[in-house]
Amino acid sequence: MRHVQQPFAPAQDTAEFRFHFQMISGGARLACSVAIRATDEVKAAILFRENWSAIEKLARKNLAMNPEKGIRLHLP
């Protein structure tokens, strides 16, 4: 007997949640923000915390390339 796989449930609606933080570059504090798409704010906060090391690396890399401006990161 052959079993047919059921299609995946449609993706839940997601929203963009922004988290703001500061980084120090060259002795100056710069504003940074990251946008995370998630189904709710709690899941977005969890993603932010779980991926903090990657977020920090990207933020420092972007600050090294353009130290005069704050940065914005978008995570899928």
Rounded to two decimals, what is the model's pTM?
A: 0.69
Please give the pLDDT value at position 65: 80
Q: Is the dihedral of CA 22, 65, 69, 16 positive or negative?
A: negative
Model confidence pLDDT, tens digit, residues 6-65: 554 445 688 999 999 998 877 888 888 888 989 999 999 999 999 999 999 988 888 888
Cα–Cα distance for residue pair 62/47, rounded to 1 Å:
20
Please give the pLDDT value at position 44: 93
Output 9 or 2, whichever has higher pLDDT.
2
Cα–Cα distance for residue pair 74/76, rounded to 1 Å:
7
Cα–Cα distance for residue pair 19/64, rounded to 1 Å:
21
